[in-house]
Amino acid sequence: MAFSVTALTDYTREYEGKLVTSLVFAPKTAQVIEQLGNVQSGIKSTEKITIHDTDAIFQTGGTCGFLSSGATTFTQKTITVGKIKVHESICPKTLEAKYLQKFLAAGSQYTTFDFAAEYTGKKVARIGAQLETAIWQGSTASVNVNLNKFQGLRTLMVADSTVVNANSAAFYGSALTGGFTAATIINAVNALYKAIPAEILNRTDLVAFCGWDAFRLYGTALTEGKYFVNWSEAMPSGELMIPNTNVKLIAVNGLNGTNYMAATYGENLFLGTDLLNEEDRFELFHAKEADEMRFMAEWKYGVQYAFGEHVADFDAA
């Protein structure tokens, strides 16, 4: 007698041993600023970066008397932090009818769940990834809620007339538009280097930032051009000394898809926050009145640079 299985649904085996999570990229720009630049904490809304400068006017010596000459000036730039929070409510009971029930405790009331560590780890990583993009592409005029909390570095630099434009006749030739290509990327990186002001070339913390897409394109072009570069080491780290220079090219996910590069020295960059690493702090708790789990995180964040004239950028968008 044949089996009668019309009343049964088709079986699909689910991998019950592990929750597989998607990859989230790390916020590298913030790490670079923390290592080479400046972090200003305790900012609730805005704070000034005080910039000190002075000149030295040579006078003819060999005579008595005092003649004052020259000036010492103080100027300021503002770091404005965005106020950001992430809230999510979770009802573990929605998992009871799914295989995920195996991650729930026995009983009908849940004050936690077995994959809480995986959940919070992924949530914090996602926050970091979205901050990385906002550090460069943030604009308070954006309709994207993940980008409109503060002004990003690219937004600030593109609007700053004191930033040296490497995509110009002085450094590149006719302006490049439509994005980087294998045929243009090497010349574009060289133009960015040539645009770095001469007075800062002796610094040991010179860095240039580009997207991972531009970084890969640059590496491919160097390889095909038979430049000697240890690309097997450079690619995993996303860091490479531009050949025959003292400038480190750093790939950051925050510039992916922008066709934009920027170079300066690390000490020129500022990261503003109220409490350092507050974006990594969170609460995951049981809200008894709603019988649900809740995730809460809140922080303040912003970026700035001190001297626009010490920044070179290349915008090929």
- For the chain, the average pLDDT equals 83
Taking a C-beta distance cutoff of 8 angstroms, is the pair 98, 91 a contact? no
Cβ-in-10-Å burial (0-12, 13-18, 19+) of 161 comes to exposed
Average pLDDT over residues 109-136: 80
pLDDT in tens, 197-207: 999 999 999 99
What is residue 226's predicted lDDT score, i.e. its pLDDT?
A: 74
Is the model's pLDDT at 12 over the cut of 60? no
Is the model's pLDDT at 18 over the cut of 50? no
Q: Go through the domains of the chain in sequence order and give each one's CATH number.
A: 28-50+79-315 (3.90.1690)
Query: Which pLDDT band holds residue 99 (cuts at 50, 70, 90)?
Result: low
What is residue 189's predicted lDDT score, i.e. its pLDDT?
A: 97
What is residue 20's predicted lDDT score, i.e. its pLDDT?
A: 41
Distances (CA, A) of 225 to 71, 183, 218, 219: 51, 10, 10, 10
Taking a C-beta distance cutoff of 8 angstroms, is the pair 279, 297 a contact? yes
What is residue 284's predicted lDDT score, i.e. its pLDDT?
A: 80
